[in-house]
Amino acid sequence: MGRLMKVEFYRHSINQKDIDNVVKVLNSLFLTTGEAVDEFEKKFSRYLGCKYTVGVTSCTAALHLSLLAYGVGAGDEVITTPMTFIATANSIIQAGAKPVFVDVEPETGNINANLIADAITPKTKAILPVHLYGQMCDMKKIREIAAKHRLVVIEDAAHAIEAKRDGIRVGELGDTACFSFYATKNITSGEGGAISTNGEEIAQKLKKLRLHGMSEGAYNRYAKRYEHWDMEVLGWKCNMSNVQAALLLNQLENIEKYWQRREEICQRYENAFESNPQITCLKVLPNSKSARHMFTILVPAERRDIILWQIQERGVGVAVHYRPIHLLSYYRQTYGYKKGMFPAAEKIGDCTITLPLYPKLSNEELEYVIQTVKEVTDEV
């Protein structure tokens, strides 16, 4: 073993300009939803090429409100993937519906669109695909299935702001797409989220749902003579604040530059592990631009945890994305899910390790991670 180095699992890219933008808001009158949120929403819509963006406090809230906006609730089923963070499936339960899992493609980890039709029942209301690790699902096929069965499509794009596939941009074929600005995401406000949509009515509905169902927010009410507000629908409390929005404005300007560096890092990982019989990388398909949110490798299942711990012991931050949701206690107990039901997702869950990936990762750190992973998989 060579010298030890400390390589963090993630470091954000917040710079002085981001900080200045936040200070500007802190020195202004409105800290809650106002001008900065408005500016962020317009900028984000322009970046994605969608008509409307609604800023919220998390992707979990974005998913939850999207389901509510389309009337998904008690007695309904929503088809999704077990290979995702629990937020995806939890949001379905929060809306009152039942998550129905469909297995994934072994080579990408994304929901296998060819298996979706078999999971549709008269109770199915929506499909909730997750663009895992940054690569888009087969949205053309998913849209086709949804059109045939009159289902809503809500994209979990928490990993995939920059993604494109088959000429389709993330959010382009979904009824809404939901984004996360959580602490480790490609752009971040610590906590935060957004919903994109091309539907004006849905955008208006989402704006109400993010603020208790009130007819107008504080910023709009304050600017004019006092008027009484009404509550038209039952909403939640998850409106994005000006402080969160201010932190995102300049990161959006740098988003492609940050992506370029992550792409470079991923390609170096892929080349380094290409001929290693113990390490498999998940595939980026032709005709697909992955947002490169996470870099995951697969190692032999029986040694995964030991390899993970040994990499950690040598100073490299690692994680597991994800152990499949259907095997977590709550899901087993509540819905009777069992081992063996979604073998492709289970295999990834047993074998996967996520390596450091962020623009600030230096070449020296990158080479150290590669060397460490190779040595550890050979030794243990």
Q: Which residues bind ligand PLP (CB under 6 A)?
A: 58-60, 84-85, 87-88, 130, 156, 158-159, 180, 182, 193
Least distance to ligand PLP, CB of residue 344, Å: 17
Least distance to ligand PLP, CB of residue 143, Å: 20
Residue nearer to ligand PLP on the CB measure, 66 or 242:
66
Least distance to ligand PLP, CB of residue 66, Å: 12
Least distance to ligand PLP, CB of residue 130, Å: 5
Least distance to ligand PLP, CB of residue 87, Å: 3
The DSSP call for residue 261 is: H
Q: 217, 248, 258: which is closest to 357 by C-alpha?
A: 258
Query: For 335, how many CA atoms within 13 A lie in the half-sphere containing its CB?
Result: 19
Least distance to ligand PLP, CB of residue 140, Å: 21
Cβ-contact 141, 166 below 8 angstroms: no
Q: In whole angstroms, how far apart are CA 23 and each of 28, 31, 134, 218?
A: 9, 11, 31, 21
* Token pair in block for residue 139: 């949205």
Name every residue whose Cβ is closer than 8 Å to that of residue 224 and which is 6 or more positions away in sequence.
Answer: none
DSSP-assigned beta bridge partners for residue 80? 101, 128
Site of tokens 């029986």: 302
Least distance to ligand PLP, CB of residue 27, Å: 27
Residue nearer to ligand PLP on the CB measure, 84 or 310:
84
* Token pair in block for residue 73: 């609730």
Cβ-contact 179, 163 below 8 angstroms: no
DSSP-assigned beta bridge partners for residue 288? 165
Residue nearer to ligand PLP on the CB measure, 52 or 182:
182
Residue nearer to ligand PLP on the CB measure, 110 or 310:
110
Residue 96, SS3? Answer: coil
CA dihedral 4, 190, 304, 286 (to 10 degrees): -110
Residue nearer to ligand PLP on the CB measure, 179 or 368:
179
Residue nearer to ligand PLP on the CB measure, 76 or 156:
156
Residue nearer to ligand PLP on the CB measure, 72 or 130:
130
Cβ-contact 243, 262 below 8 angstroms: no
